[in-house]
Chains A and B, each alone.
Chain A
């Protein structure tokens, strides 16, 4: 029997949102609400597409576009995906099964709650803030895909949670999973309440994880682009999901009562996306 969480999952189609929902289902948890943002890349508003069929077509196009790399990697490099599953099996229960649930016959309506589809141009679309505000105060889970604007973050009584694959407050910014490998020798993960500023919100929890190594199958080493994409198609989303659901939500009777502790924002380094040379070095430490 599922336990319903007082939580809205704001789903940006892609590996991160899927990992959260699949892991929740495994834990016997279901969100109160799922809002799926549907954006048509060919126009700024879904409204330009004729009729209700336009939203469905846009959703399917978005599914293909946002999951292109995981689908392609699973089809073209199944041994890489197996190696990844083997490499993280010590930290997650059944990663191969979780990956299969994320990408095989996945449906946004299979998580115990009717998913609300919203046609939006992005996070700054007024329709999104209206839809979130309509349900009043509560907890929202951010799943990536853009910058959350202050217009949503500052809605009365709303707490927006984000999970960051770096140990806060020490590592902020972009590519932190790889920066963690170079700087700390192992990944970290933190859950926090978002503010309009970068990665400085009050912490719900933070931890460092065992060193991450994926033993590649024999044969030609995949190029760095393929390895980088596989990191963010499979490993990064599952790390976030496992921490948030396995470590924070599952053991807690009332997630609304989870306390958040202010970070020391005077410490830490804000990192940016890695130059290809550094990225190659970081990937070489993960994929051996």
Chain B
């Protein structure tokens, strides 16, 4: 793999936009994802709250928005998530997918996250560290499902 996951996370963290949580219950994806990115590899255990919703946005609605209404309500007028934020989401999902690569995924949560990461890569043509994220995803897939070595 071209870059180690920790390097990918650090480089993506450095390019995240400064974002504050909007008012009125609205959700800024950048504000939501930045804390998850920071130290994601150090986080113990699955981070299902919130990550589940990211998977739903990718899988059901086929794309991430920069902002959402309360309870992740989508808006027709909302702009797509900036590429650096989408890349950060993918990186967080790939961290969550790591147990699958290590064959330690008893309930399929990690595979679910890998599934969403692969879809998000397909949905976003131009991403910072896009090739590196793809390499990471492919390595995780190979390790998880073909018995090869993990990333």
Contact = CB atoms under 8 A, between A and B. Distances in A.
Nearest to B58: A272
A179 interface: yes
Nearest to A281: B145
A270 interface: yes
Q: Is the interface of A mostly helix, strand, loop or mixed?
A: mixed
B108 A272 contact: no
Interface stretch (B23-31, B82-90, B112-120): B112-120
Contacts of A271: 108, 112, 115
A269 B110 CA distance: 10
Interface in B47-72: 52, 55-56, 59-60
Interface string B95-125: 0000000000101110110111011001000
A271 B55 CA distance: 9
Which range contains the number of A residues in contact with the other chain? 10 to 19
A272 B112 contact: yes
Contacts of B118: 275, 277-278
A268 interface: yes
B136 interface: no
Nearest to B107: A269
A272 B114 CA distance: 11
Nearest to A170: B107
A253 B56 CA distance: 42
Contacts of A89: none
Given A275-B118, A277-B118, A278-B115, A179 B108 contact: yes
Contact of A275 (B108, B109, B119): B119
Interface of B: 52, 55-56, 59-60, 105, 107-109, 111-112, 114-116, 118-119, 122, 141, 145-146
Given A182-B108, A273-B59, 8 more contacts: A171-B108, A182-B145, A269-B112, A270-B112, A272-B60, A272-B115, A275-B119, A278-B111
